């Protein structure tokens, strides 16, 4: 048996030991009790109820046992991950073993899940980002939880120190690969009040916007301004972002095509009007002539 297999087996045994340690916490009726040498004779007197002092003592003991179990769990998991990293064990081996899909509550509330994420970061740092790809990462999460919960999870994790870059990569991957969840992504972004300016860079592919990305981003800006107020992201700020990627004539043509989309027509018209002001201030006569042709179909 190879060293890697031995370390993996040891790591899994550590996880099993952790689960057994917590057995009494999950199933109180299975707790081990001290052995009694001989049963005491049955008394004819009625048993008195446990005094409040004894109840408090038992409650404190239960809390201490649970706290001790958590401490042991953390130590054993950290040891397993340390051994796993040395043996270059892939993160999915641990993910599957500890059954995150069965975790009670949200995954971001699980200390087990957070420790696993830290392992992912260390593993990718050691082995390279392609060693545990965004596609594989996203697939694990989507198999464990519904898409809506996965998106909520990512928004929660984004606020955790050291997780922002990882989460943004996953969001970009999901946005690119699964158009069917775009509306859910918009809702998740809105729930956490994600600024459209920041998302603009997140959904902008290296080779430039594709129509579906641009349209979805524009729809999110409308949702955001409805919730936060028109001045939360003014038209001129939107155009400033666009003009970093398109020339004025190209942007005019782009907005003209967007005007054909019913729910974005008014937005595109407002953006186009603001571009006209910019065009009038700094464009050449040729640019202005092209603008008239694009918007009216007439060219002098």
pLDDT in tens, 56-99: 555 555 555 454 444 456 777 888 889 989 999 999 988 876 55
Is the CB of residue 123 less than 8 Å from the CB of residue 132?
yes
Residue 36 in 3-state DSSP? coil
In this prediction the pTM is 0.66
* Other Cβ atoms within 10 Å of 34 Cβ, number: 4
Q: Please, what is the average pLDDT of the chain?
A: 75
Is the CB of residue 249 less than 8 Å from the CB of residue 291?
yes
Domain housing 145: 104-112+121-192
* Other Cβ atoms within 10 Å of 283 Cβ, number: 19
Residue 159 in 3-state DSSP? coil
* Other Cβ atoms within 10 Å of 253 Cβ, number: 17
In a domain, 272, yes or no: no
pLDDT tens for residues 12-67? Answer: 555 555 554 443 333 333 333 443 444 444 444 444 455 555 555 555 555 554 54
138: its two tokens: 């996203």
pLDDT tens for residues 98-118? Answer: 555 444 445 555 777 888 899
42: its two tokens: 């049955």
* Residue of 258, 246, 180 lying closest to 218 (CA atoms): 258
Total structural domains within the chain: 1
Q: Is the pLDDT of residue 170 over 70?
A: yes
- Please give the Cα distance from 272 to 104 (Å, whole number): 50
In a domain, 125, yes or no: yes
In a domain, 131, yes or no: yes
In a domain, 172, yes or no: yes
In a domain, 173, yes or no: yes
Give percent of the chain above pLDDT 90.
Answer: 29
Query: What is the pLDDT at residue 261?
Result: 92
């Amino acid at each position: 048996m190879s060293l890697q297999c031995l370390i993996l087996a040891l790591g899994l045994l550590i996880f099993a030991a952790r689960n057994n340690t917590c057995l009494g916490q999950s199933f109180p009726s299975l707790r081990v009790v001290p052995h009694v040498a001989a049963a005491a004779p049955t008394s004819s007197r009625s048993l008195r109820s446990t005094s409040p002092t004894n109840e408090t003592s038992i409650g404190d003991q239960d809390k201490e046992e649970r706290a001790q179990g958590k401490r042991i769990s953390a130590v054993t998991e950290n040891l397993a991950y340390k051994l796993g990293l040395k043996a270059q064990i892939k993160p999915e081996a641990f993910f599957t073993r500890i059954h995150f899909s069965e975790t009670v509550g949200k995954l971001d509330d699980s200390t087990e899940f957070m420790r696993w994420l830290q392992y992912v970061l260390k593993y990718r740092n050691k082995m390279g980002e392609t060693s545990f790809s965004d596609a594989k990462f996203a697939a694990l999460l989507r198999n464990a939880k519904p898409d809506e919960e996965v998106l909520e999870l990512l928004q929660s994790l984004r606020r955790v120190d050291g997780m922002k870059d990882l989460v943004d990569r996953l969001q970009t991957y999901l946005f690119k690969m699964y158009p069917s969840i775009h509306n859910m992504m918009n809702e998740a972004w809105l729930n956490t009040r994600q600024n459209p300016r920041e998302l603009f860079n997140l959904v902008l592919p290296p080779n430039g916007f594709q129509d579906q990305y641009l349209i979805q981003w524009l729809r999110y800006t409308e949702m955001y301004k409805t919730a936060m107020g028109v001045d939360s992201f003014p038209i001129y700020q939107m155009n400033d972002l666009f003009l970093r990627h398109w020339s004025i004539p190209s942007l005019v043509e782009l907005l003209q095509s967007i005007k054909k989309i019913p729910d974005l027509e008014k937005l595109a018209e407002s953006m186009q009007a603001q571009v006209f002001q910019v065009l009038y201030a700094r464009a050449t006569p040729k640019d202005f002539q092209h603008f008239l042709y694009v918007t009216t179909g007439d060219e002098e």
